[in-house]
Structure 1
Amino acid sequence: MISRIGLVLIAVVASTQISDAADPRYPDWPCAQAKVPEISLAAVWAGPSLDDAEQKWKNDPKISALVEKAAARKLPLEDAQKAITDFLAAPGTDKVAAGKLLFAGLFEQLNAERASVMNGLERVTRKQRQAADKVRSDTIELQALQDATPRDQAKIDELGNSLVWETRIFEDRRRVVKFVCEVPTTIDQRLFALGRTIQQEIE
């Protein structure tokens, strides 16, 4: 059975972990970092104009395969950079044309991954709000059951156990959100680093 102190702690957890968004334009954005919906091309690419590379990169199977490989965050950045330099250094390669296609693909791929992560974070925030409301309402209900005469101990125990489980899920999600909030920045940094690698090879 949950004590009155336990009830207070549960209610506090649920009421304090979902704070107002720092930027009213994005009420569901849970991270301390400001939400930037898309990476700006100018922020990560100082090389030659991509021209129509943004439409053509998918037509080249080798470029597409390298984009998929280099964009994957499970591949260490250094390995991705080496794969790019090896590809562009291959005999007969038009470095500038290939580099533009490659970066266009990386820009599209990593922007899409970044958007997917950010949308997921906002979905979790909405779930957390619903979970917090449920914890609060269940806490009030449990307190009423504990104050009732006669006491229905079976219902008290059932709701108490449910509250413990709901709170645990809430806290687990909170920890995951804190970790995932770093991912968009990691993607930004990866794209910038890969862009610099390509630029250095085609200069």
Structure 2
Amino acid sequence: MTGWRTGLGTLLAMVLSSQVASAADPRYPDWPCQQAKVPEISLAAVWAGPPLGDAETKWRDNPKISALATKLAARRVPLEDAQKEITEFLQAATADKANAGKLLFAGLFDTLNGQRASVMNGLERVMRKQREAAEKIRDDTVKLQALQDATPPDQAKVDELGNQLVWETRIFEDRGRVVKFVCEVPTTIDQRLFALSRTIQQELD
């Protein structure tokens, strides 16, 4: 029973720690995703509308714009619903449409970029935990092998450490699966910002 635990622990320690090491972009050693890390969306990449001017900072002074930007940035709001709400909001703005559109875009841009940064920082924190966990699995595997090689082996300690290794590797694997899922979130945020920006610009054309 303990033999397969040792083999599993050794295999996971080697393979998973290798995955942790190879997953990072060389420029960003704590970045765990296959997707290249883009720390921030550039304004020019998503906005081809009129110059924003002071809208980049003034949007925060407008409670209605701030509330709407927060609401539409939330991924729980279906993209189609968010686009519809933008259209209705800007059409109701009439003469002030251009200013309202710029303020709303500036709010969405800052809010969604902030969400991206939060997610990406979280991913890098998890990556550091995974490295620590991989090291712990390696160390405990060595300890378990030493316990098994002792004459006579202390079976109680062997079983205890073997069970601990099973849990450590399970947590490591579970966390790795979560990371793969969360790695898609920055791209989802990018796509949302592009789509909402396009909707605003279409209304302002």
* Alignment TM-score, normalising by the size of structure 2: 0.94
5+ long unaligned stretches in structure 1? none
One of 63, 66, 80 as aligned partner of 2:65: 63
Other-structure match for 1:2:
2
1:6-155 equivalences in 2 (<5 Å): 6-20=8-22, 23-90=25-92, 92=94, 94-155=96-157
What is the rounded CA distance, in whole Å, between the counterparts of 2:82 and 2:10 in structure 1? 50
Shift of 1:149: 1.1
Which of 176, 179, 192 in structure 2 is aligned with 1:177? 179
Q: How many residues align?
A: 203
More helix, by proportion: 2
Kindly tell me: are residues 169 and 197 of structure 1, through their superposed partners in 2, closer, same or farther at Cα, counting changes over 3 Å? same
Identity %: 74
Compute the TM-score of the two structures, normalised by the length of structure 1.
0.95
* Aligned counterpart, 1:164: 166
Deviations 1:60-79 (A, max 9, x none): 11111110110001111001
Compared with structure 1, are the counterparts of its residues 122 and 75 closer, same or farther at alpha carbon in structure 2 (3 Å cutoff)? same
Q: Which runs of 5+ in 2 are unaligned?
A: none
Q: Secondary structure at the match of 1:17?
A: helix
Query: Pairwise CA RMSD of aligned residues?
Result: 1.4
> How far apart, in 2, do the equivalents of 1:28 and 1:133 lie?
15
CA distance in 2, matches of 1:186, 1:159: 41
Deviation at 1:151, TM superposition (A): 1.3
Q: What is the CA-CA distance between 1:158 and the residue it aligns to?
A: 0.9
1:192-203 equivalences in 2 (<5 Å): 192-203=194-205
| Matched-pair contact (CA < 8 Å) for 2:17–2:131 | no
